[in-house]
């Protein structure tokens, strides 16, 4: 009798897992996420970093020596020319909603730290180390693969960030394109992982006119939320 019950429970568990795996390619529902990231920012520089502080000479456009070379080093990191590149790191949490049709939305919050050494004190840009917080949102498309992996790409022009605290409080930020992420789906479809497969340049544009290219690494873990468990019951 005990063995019969055990076999029945096992059969139910296998059936549930198979059903969940069959459903998981839909990735329909809300998934909470947390994660961390760090970025190498290459704003370039104008004027003497040890001289007089200067205003942005090209608001709304990147400096000519900003960005990265083909070997992924800052363009202003040339012999005899000290780079003004710097690093920042941040943590995030939020909700990624999969619509079940290959589209979705993200809403979250971030806490950011800009590390020493930072550009300046002269020329442009120039600022000390700092911390900040923000909210952000964007839309995305996604694909689920037969091997249990998934990929996602931000919809261009959909990213918006509102800075809440820190030196830039009140400013907004857009990003041309957060690089694609790729990861794996758990057997029951309740947990996802993701990261960037390769270093890719993205450009952050601030509402005050600063335009700064950067390369970031990000990792995320997603867990299906309670309201998303019945994702087949629309």
Query: 97 Cβ partners below 8 Å, 6+ apart?
Result: 29, 30, 31, 104, 105, 106
Q: Looking at 155-159, 217-221, 223-227, which range is the least confident one? A: 223-227
- Give pLDDT, residue 160: 98
Give the H or E element holding residue 206.
strand 201-206
State the pLDDT at residue 19: 36
- In this prediction, residue 46 carries a pLDDT of 95
Residue 82: the pLDDT is: 78
44, 76 Cβ separation under 8 angstroms: yes
| 13, pLDDT greater than 60 | no
Q: Which of 6-15, 44-53, 120-129 has the lowest mean pLDDT?
A: 6-15
Residue 155 and residue 160: Cα distance in Å, rounded? 12
* pLDDT band at residue 227 using 50, 70 and 90 as cut-offs: low
3-state secondary structure 18-36: HHHHHHHHHCEEEEEEEEE
**Total count of residues recorded for the chain:** 234
Distance CA 82, CA 13 (A): 61
Which of 5-14, 50-59, 96-105, 205-214 is least confident?
5-14
pLDDT confidence band for 79 (50 / 70 / 90): confident
**31 phi and psi angles, rounded to 5 deg:** -125, 125
Give the tens place of pLDDT for each residue, 187-216: 999 999 999 999 999 999 999 999 999 999
């Amino acid at each position: 009798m005990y063995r019969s019950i055990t076999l029945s429970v096992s059969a139910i568990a296998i059936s549930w897992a198979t059903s969940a795996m069959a459903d998981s390619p839909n990735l329909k529902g809300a998934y909470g996420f947390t994660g961390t990231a760090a970025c190498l920012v290459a704003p370039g520089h104008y004027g003497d970093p040890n001289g007089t502080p200067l205003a942005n000479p090209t608001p709304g456009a990147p400096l000519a020596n900003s960005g990265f070379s083909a070997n992924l080093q800052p363009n202003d990191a040339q012999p005899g020319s000290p780079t003004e590149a710097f690093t920042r790191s941040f943590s995030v949490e939020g909700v990624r909603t999969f619509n079940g049709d290959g589209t979705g939305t993200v809403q979250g919050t971030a806490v950011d730290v800009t590390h020493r050494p930072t550009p300046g004190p002269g020329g442009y840009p120039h600022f000390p180390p700092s911390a900040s917080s923000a909210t952000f949102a964007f839309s995305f498309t996604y694909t689920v693969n037969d091997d249990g992996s998934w990929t996602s790409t931000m919809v261009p022009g959909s990213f918006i960030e509102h800075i809440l605290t820190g030196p830039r409080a009140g400013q907004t930020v857009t990003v041309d394109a957060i690089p694609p992420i790729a990861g794996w789906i758990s057997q029951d479809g309740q947990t996802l992982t993701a990261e960037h497969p390769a270093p890719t340049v993205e450009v952050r544009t601030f509402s005050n006119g600063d335009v700064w290219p950067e390369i970031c690494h990000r990792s995320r873990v997603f867990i299906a939320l309670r309201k998303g468990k019945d994702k087949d019951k629309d």
